Amino acid sequence: MSKEQIEMLTKSLNEHSYKYYVLDEPKISDFEYDKMLRQLEELEQKFPEYALDNSPTKRVGGQVAKGFKKVTHEVMMMSLMDVFSFEELLLFDQRIKKELTDYDYVVERKIDGLSVSLEYENGQFIRGSTRGDGVVGEDITANLMTVKTVPLELFEKVPYLEVRGEVYLPKKDFLQLNEKQEILGEKIFANPRNAAAGSLRQLDSKITATRNLSVFVFNIQRIVGKELSTHSDSLEFLKKCGFRVSPGYYKCHTIEEAIEAINDIGESRGDFEFDIDGAVVKIENLSQRELLGATSKYPKWAAAYKYPAEQQETIINDIQIQIGRTGVLTPKAILKPVRIAGSTVSNATLHNMDYILEKDIRIGDSAIIQKAGDIIPEVVRILPEKRTGNEKKFIMPETCPVCGSHVEREEDMSAYRCTGIECPAQQFRSLVHFCSRDAMDIDGLGPALIEKFLNDKLIKTISDIYYLHEKRDILITMEGLGEKSIDNLISSIDHSRNNEISKLLFGFGIRHIGQRASKLLEEHFESIDDIEKASLETLMEINEFGEIMAKSVIDFFHNPQSHHLIEKLKLAGVNMMSRKFGNKPQGILDGRTVVLTGTLPELTRSEAQKLIEENGGKTSSSVSKNTDFVLAGDQAGSKLEKAVELGITIINEAQFRKMIGK
């Protein structure tokens, strides 16, 4: 019965996924889909021998890859010849006329993403790879399996099929991803294409699975067991197989009709859910394509028309400051509304003060605006010849417009940052970092729940976390929170009160003070109060501390908001004393120094380090005569060699676990 249940759920979920992601015609709610998916996951865990290769549970990602294998493309994944004017397109058509007398074109949107190959045997997805240099790409099968519009099993089965498609990130998901990246202090992507490429090349496919990538298939590279005569026939066949194919394509008999199609696409490109950077003109008949052939770089039967960026003139009415969730002050131009690429634009990012100075942007200037990648409005240039003398230069504020804290410019960087730890504009990012594993490690209090608590005004600042137990009656009424999960969360919060002060210091997010520096502070001072009282000279006496790090600590503890937060945490019972001066944990590794090297079978480096410290030991980054053990995994290098040379005891993960009783 279990086998039949798994087969039935797999088939049903795949059908609903196809209707939702490919046809955009959902037949059940997200809640119903998720409920069925959880049921399948539970059954597959109990009966793994019955799990199918095309199970939707495989779309969540798997183990972290050590690297990408190379793939040699049997059919070269060629690039296209770019043309930038209709005159060039007419020349392209004249070259076709020299070889063919009667022919048709197909015109498609040129989606701006990452080109990939998808391979199928007897209808089953077997491999996916990047274009690479056209001849050799990289095997990213695990990552492509997480893309919900990549069929894992085809409706129409042939012995072998290789298709080419474009993986992209929808515009709305691109903006949401960048917002999330900013919250977490991670890299901000310049455009959807970069975001899609970066997401597909993650070694951890679970990260790819969170990025909501999609794919359009636009060409058959190789096929066995099916004959097709035209490009439009191949697209219709691919639709029947279950692929999302290149949308809204035009069949044209002349180059003039093709140019009309390009204009139609160009006029509506601002309304597309995806970014395009042009339109592709292709010969429709597949045998005619073979006759025309290719150069060493691109096929002679296709050309890519690139649209110029649409630009408009407007007035910069004002320049205002936005506070990002990492505390960075970003100037924003408030514009006289103007329509560009299908939407009305009323503001544009000015990035930073250096950008404003470089372009000499002033309040009241006339300026040329365009959308970067057809999404993010930006100032291309100002028009100084239109100045009247009433324009005003912009000056970056010295205090945060939200909380009033001092604003500092980071050394050798263009960013200005608010220094207030309780600044409302930074709440979310500060809370996420404080609760993270490497900081206070509050299990269960992740970004989604923090955002929910903030929206419902259950917490405002870090210290409010330690009073959530008083709001248990409210928590129990919240959707998605059961009694057990609430009890686990409160228990995890209580446990964090007793953390080492190095975790608390790292949780504060002090500029230039990472995990290592936080541990050094814990080793040199008896309490948080002692660190607060320390002078610049005292801090600089710590080995590995420079003036920038020492000054950062001084600035943090001298900020009234920091003092207020620490006092509230003291009242909440959060530990403020260094274990080195009395409360140090005792264990089998008490007083021992351990060096980690290589990749361990199960433990991550941070997990192993935590276990060492919990058992009284400390870790070091280098091997010396003072090292007691070297914990070595796969691909251990020079540290292992030095340990052998010095006669230091070398242990593996199994021996380490036995030593600490795990």
For residues 428 and 435, which has the higher predicted lDDT (pLDDT)? Answer: 435
Q: Which of 66, 70, 98, 110 is catalytic?
A: 110
For the residues 376-391, what does the mean pLDDT come to? 90
For residue 144, pLDDT over 60 is answered with yes
Q: Where do the DSSP E strands lie in 341-423?
A: 343-349, 362-363, 366-372, 376-382, 392-393, 407-409, 416-418
Q: Which of 76-80, 266-270, 359-363, 650-654 shows the lowest per-residue confidence on average (mean pLDDT)? A: 266-270
Tokens of 81: 């010849």
Q: What is the CATH number of domain 311-393?
A: 2.40.50.140
* Residue 581, CA distances (Å) to 30, 379, 520, 522, 532 in order: 54, 57, 13, 9, 17
437-474 per-position pLDDT tens digit:
889 999 889 888 888 898 888 998 899 999 898 888 88
Q: Which CATH class is domain 593-659?
A: alpha beta
| CA R_g for the chain | 30
* Residue 624, CA distances (Å) to 237, 639, 643, 656 in order: 66, 9, 8, 20
For the residues 190-211, what does the mean pLDDT come to? 82
Q: Which of 20-34, 361-375, 451-465, 476-490 shows the lowest per-residue confidence on average (mean pLDDT)? A: 20-34
Share of the chain above pLDDT 70, in %: 92
For the residues 348-355, what does the mean pLDDT come to? 88
Q: Where do the DSSP E strands lie in 464-515?
A: none
* Residue 647, CA distances (Å) to 12, 311, 619, 625, 640 in order: 61, 69, 18, 9, 10
Share of the chain above pLDDT 90, in %: 37
For the residues 391-415, what does the mean pLDDT come to? 85
For residue 152, pLDDT over 80 is answered with yes
For residue 29, pLDDT over 70 is answered with no
For the residues 561-588, what does the mean pLDDT come to? 78
For residue 583, pLDDT over 70 is answered with no
For the residues 61-67, what does the mean pLDDT come to? 57
Q: How far apart are CA 287 and CA 433, in angstroms?
A: 59
601-653 per-position pLDDT tens digit:
888 877 888 788 777 787 877 787 778 888 888 877 778 888 888 888 888 88
User: Which range among 177-186, 190-199, 447-456 has the greatest average pLDDT?
Assistant: 447-456
* Residue 585 confidence (pLDDT): 45
Give 507's pLDDT tier (boundaries 50, 70, 90): very high
Tokens of 278: 């042009």
Is 192 in contact with 174 (CB distance < 8 Å)?
Answer: yes
Q: How far apart are the first and last CA of the chain?
A: 38
* Residue 459 confidence (pLDDT): 92
Task: Report yes or no on whether pTM surpasses 0.85.
Answer: no
For the residues 484-505, what does the mean pLDDT come to? 88
User: Which range among 102-106, 137-141, 353-357 has the greatest average pLDDT?
Assistant: 102-106
325-340 per-position pLDDT tens digit:
668 888 999 999 988 7
CA dihedral 44, 46, 49, 50 (to 10 degrees): -50
The domain spans of the chain are 2-60, 71-306, 311-393, 420-584, 593-659
What is the three-class DSSP state of 187?
coil
Tokens of 552: 């950062």
CATH architecture of 420-584: Orthogonal Bundle (1.10)
For residue 586, pLDDT over 70 is answered with no
CA 84, distance to chain mean position in Å, is: 32
- Among positive and negative, which fits the CA dihedral 273, 237, 74, 300? negative
Give 582's pLDDT tier (boundaries 50, 70, 90): low
For residue 40, pLDDT over 70 is answered with yes
* Residue 581 confidence (pLDDT): 66
Tokens of 349: 């990012």
Is 598 in contact with 634 (CB distance < 8 Å)?
Answer: yes
Name the superfamily (CATH) of residues 2-60. Answer: Helix hairpin bin (1.10.287.610)
148 is catalytic: no
Is 379 in contact with 361 (CB distance < 8 Å)?
Answer: yes
Q: How far apart are CA 487 and CA 482, in angstroms?
A: 9
For the residues 527-549, what does the mean pLDDT come to? 90
For residue 525, pLDDT over 50 is answered with yes
For the residues 521-544, what does the mean pLDDT come to? 91
Residues 6+ apart with CB under 8 A from 558: none
* Residue 73 confidence (pLDDT): 92
For the residues 488-511, what does the mean pLDDT come to? 89
* Residue 584 confidence (pLDDT): 46
* Residue 412 confidence (pLDDT): 65
Per the prediction, the chain carries an average pLDDT of 86
296-322 per-position pLDDT tens digit:
888 999 999 988 777 889 999 999 998
Tokens of 44: 């597959």
Give 128's pLDDT tier (boundaries 50, 70, 90): very high
- Among positive and negative, which fits the CA dihedral 368, 372, 375, 376? negative
3-state helix, strand, coil in the chain (%, to 5): 40, 25, 35
Q: What is the 3-state secondary structure (H, E, C) of 42-97?
A: HHHHHCHHHCCCCCHHHHHCCCECCCCCEEECCCCCCCCCEECCHHHHHHHHHHHH
Q: Which of 279, 277, 278, 282 is nearest to 299 (CA)?
A: 282
11-25 per-position pLDDT tens digit:
888 887 777 666 657
The domain 71-306 is placed in CATH, from the list 1.10.260.40, 3.30.470.30, 1.10.30.50, 3.40.190.80, at 3.30.470.30
- Among positive and negative, which fits the CA dihedral 582, 585, 586, 591? negative
For the residues 373-392, what does the mean pLDDT come to? 86
